[in-house]
Amino acid sequence: MCGIVGLFLKDKSLEPQLGAMLSDMLVTMTDRGPDSAGIAIYGSPSKGRAKITVQSSDPKQDFAGLDALLKPVDSSISVELKSTHAVIETDADKASAVRDLLSQERTGIRVMGSGDSVEIYKEVGLPKDVVSRFGIRQMAGTHGIGHTRMATESAVTTLGAHPFSTGADQCLVHNGSLSNHNNLRRELVREGMTFETQNDTEVAAAYLSAEMAKGKDLGQALTSALDDLDGFFTFVVGTKSGFGVVRDPIACKPAVMAETDQYIAFGSEYRALVNLPGIENARVWEPEPATVYFWDHEKAA
Amino acid sequence: MDVSVKRESLEAMRVFDLAKTPLRELNSALHAIAPGTNDTNFEVVNPRGSHAVAVGIDQPVTVEVRGSVGYYCAGMNDGGTVTVHGSAGPGVAENMMSGAVVIEGDASQYAGATGRGGLLVIKGNAASRCGISMKGIDIVVQGNIGHMSAFMGQSGHLVVLGNAGDALGDSLYEAKLFVRGEVKSLGADCIQKEMKPKHLKLLAELLERAGITGVAPEEFKRYGSARTLYNFNIDNADAY
């Protein structure tokens, strides 16, 4: 099964509540998959700054003295520890030097996601426990996506949890299973993409990143995905300013969307949407099969 | 107020608030009704997308659901009349035996799947696989239906006032399909058939049962099985 949710705010006054709203939506979907959960929150980017969300299974050892280790690379660096994750904020020009140093000095650390605005948190366990251990409810943001997993294609591990991020400020959650992911992974490796897991969704994320790297926007990349990905999928995708949804042509995997003047929301089921403000008068619809939906804060502005 | 009248009106409608009452209590109360009981009017408030609302009814009760429901609402209904004043999730009225289910809004995928009898009316649109494997149910959709509807339909009728998606009636047996709008494509072994006087009469009756007025049976086209895939023939291998 798996449960997925997404929320894209149009009304800025709701931004302080994004984390709380998305957490409620995800917790409601718990019985669609109790194995692991994850959330990506897009906050307001600050000019010239980059964020790197990292994870460790041994945070005590891997995060000890992280600040002191990275300061010589960028004196303005800040490190915020959140349970098994840490968010490193750095000068955007120094971000790749920071990542290089981390991979050399702290081999237990994995990068969950990076970019100007995204923070990604994911762990094994129930959504309610995952959102509380990372303090997701207190987070503000412009848009976000979440996932609760019933594992099929790869092991129940932190790295196998969604969202998957394979490019700056890009991430994806998936309900379904892909059947051509091994072949596609080989092709993407040849194009220079790197993979952390044997998971099918990571391949979909990397595919979209590769397509966008070729100059496509999110909507165009999702359109190509309909031709190149084989299998069952309902995807919800986030980029720095955008939010997209696409379902495979068979469309077995459930999806409901709602739109008001304040937000665009996605849920695997209507239950995920019932606490949103003004849902009684929202336009509620089921996204069509093989049809790309996407919204962009920058293009809308 | 006359006490006896008040008591009667209380008995006349039992209200279950799913924000306060577990779903199991509603369904247990529906299942506990003995034949011949007068206490047959139920109202469900705050369904908030709950699954399996009013499943397994086997008495002629009336259930008014005030809001949208999740998976399998009114599944296996046998004689009840269930009205959803909202939209329905996947599998509404699946395997209905008899009675009626009315959805005021839209229905998600596989509405009326495998239904053996009764009438399902969807006032909005139905998504993919509407009436898949239908076996005697009558389904009337006032809006459009999605792809692969009536797949392997064996008997019963599917009436669509709007348009039908891809692969309508794929591998159809003897279910009869009537579509007023466009059909995006027909599935394997499904063909358009002549609308004879007996079909016009049948369709008029179905529209009347669904409470639809102002629509003439002559506006519809009839689709059914070409009956070439009933038994496996190696020459038809590509069509399956």
Task: Tell me the shortest Cα–Cα distance from B91 to chain A, in angstroms.
Answer: 11
Express each pLDDT in B105-118 by its tens digit.
999 999 999 999 99
Task: Tell me the shortest Cα–Cα distance from B7 to chain A, in angstroms.
Answer: 33
Q: Flag whether residue B128 sits within 8 Å of chain A, measured between CB atoms.
A: yes
CATH number of the domain bearing residue B125 = 2.160.20
Task: Supply the CATH classification number for the domain A47-116.
Answer: 3.30.70.3400
- Asked if residue B72 has pLDDT above 70, the reply is yes
Asked whether the CA dihedral A240, A242, A247, A253 is positive or negative, the reply is positive
Give the mutation candidate from B48, B53, B71, B163 for the A interface (greatest A CB count, under 10 A): B48
- Asked if residue B23 has pLDDT above 90, the reply is yes
- 3-state DSSP call for residue B237? helix
pLDDT of residue B3: 44
Query: How confident is the model over B128-138, as a mean pLDDT?
Result: 98
Contacts of B147 in chain A (CB under 8 A): 249, 251, 289
Do residues A67 and A75 lie in contact, with contact meaning Cβ atoms separated by under 8 Å? no
Is A171 annotated as catalytic?
no
Size of the A and B interface in Cβ pairs below 8 Å = 41
Q: Flag whether residue A31 sits within 8 Å of chain B, measured between CB atoms.
A: no
Residue B139 inside a domain? The answer is: yes
Distance CA B225, CA B209 (A): 25
Q: Flag whether residue A287 sits within 8 Å of chain B, measured between CB atoms.
A: no
pLDDT of residue B38: 82
pLDDT of residue A248: 97
Asked whether the CA dihedral B171, B175, B176, B181 is positive or negative, the reply is negative
Residue B102 inside a domain? The answer is: yes
- Where in the sequence is the domain holding B117, given as residue range(s)? 3-210
The model's confidence at residue B240, banded by pLDDT at 50, 70 and 90, is low
Q: Flag whether residue B89 sits within 8 Å of chain A, measured between CB atoms.
A: yes
Instruction: Write the class of the CATH domain A3-45+121-300.
Output: alpha beta
- Asked if residue B138 has pLDDT above 80, the reply is yes
Domain with CATH 3.30.70.3400 in chain A: 47-116
| Complex ipTM | 0.91
Residue B186 inside a domain? The answer is: yes
Distance CA A296, CA A243 (A): 6
Residue B231 inside a domain? The answer is: no
Q: Flag whether residue A273 sits within 8 Å of chain B, measured between CB atoms.
A: yes
C-beta atoms of A289 and B147 within 8 A: yes
C-beta atoms of B128 and A285 within 8 A: no
The catalytic position among A2, A4, A212, A236 is A2
Three-state SS string over chain A comes to CCEEEEEEECCHHHHHHHHHHHHHHHHHCHHHCCCEEEEEEECCCCCCEEEEEEECCCHHHHCCCHHHHHCCCCCCCEEEEECCEEEEEEEHHHHHHHHHHHHHHCCCCEEEEEECCEEEEEEECCHHHHHHHCCHHHCCCCEEEEEEECCCCCCCCCCCCCCEEEECCEEEEEEEEECCHHHHHHHHHHCCCCCCCCCHHHHHHHHHHHHHHCCCCHHHHHHHHHHHCCEEEEEEEECCCEEEEEECCCCCCCCEEEECCCEEEEECCHHHHCCCCCHHHCEEECCCCCCCEEEEHHHHC
Burial of A120 (0-12, 13-18, 19+ CB in 10 A): buried
Percentage of chain B beyond pLDDT 70 is 95
Q: What is the pTM of this model?
A: 0.93
C-beta atoms of B49 and A271 within 8 A: yes
Q: Flag whether residue B49 sits within 8 Å of chain A, measured between CB atoms.
A: yes
Domain with CATH 3.60.20.10 in chain A: 3-45+121-300
C-beta atoms of B68 and A284 within 8 A: yes
Residue B221 inside a domain? The answer is: no
Provide φ and ψ at A144, rounded to 5°: -165, 160
- Asked if residue B2 has pLDDT above 70, the reply is no
Contacts of A256 in chain B (CB under 8 A): 108
pLDDT of residue B207: 98
Contacts of A289 in chain B (CB under 8 A): 128, 146-147
Query: How confident is the model over B59-86, as a mean pLDDT?
Result: 98
C-beta atoms of B90 and A254 within 8 A: yes
Q: Looking at residue B46, what DSSP letter applies?
A: -
Distance CA B43, CA B58 (A): 17
C-beta atoms of B109 and A251 within 8 A: yes
Contacts of B106 in chain A (CB under 8 A): 285-286
pLDDT of residue A300: 56
Where is pLDDT greater, at B19 or B3?
Answer: B19
Residue B227 inside a domain? The answer is: no
- 3-state DSSP call for residue B239? helix
Give me the amino acid identity at B21: T
Contacts of B89 in chain A (CB under 8 A): 254, 269-270
Distance of CA A170 to the CA centre of its chain: 7
**What's the number of domains chain B is made of?**
1
Express each pLDDT in A43-73 by its tens digit.
988 899 999 999 999 999 999 999 999 999 9
Residues of chain A with pLDDT under 50: 301
Burial of A47 (0-12, 13-18, 19+ CB in 10 A): exposed
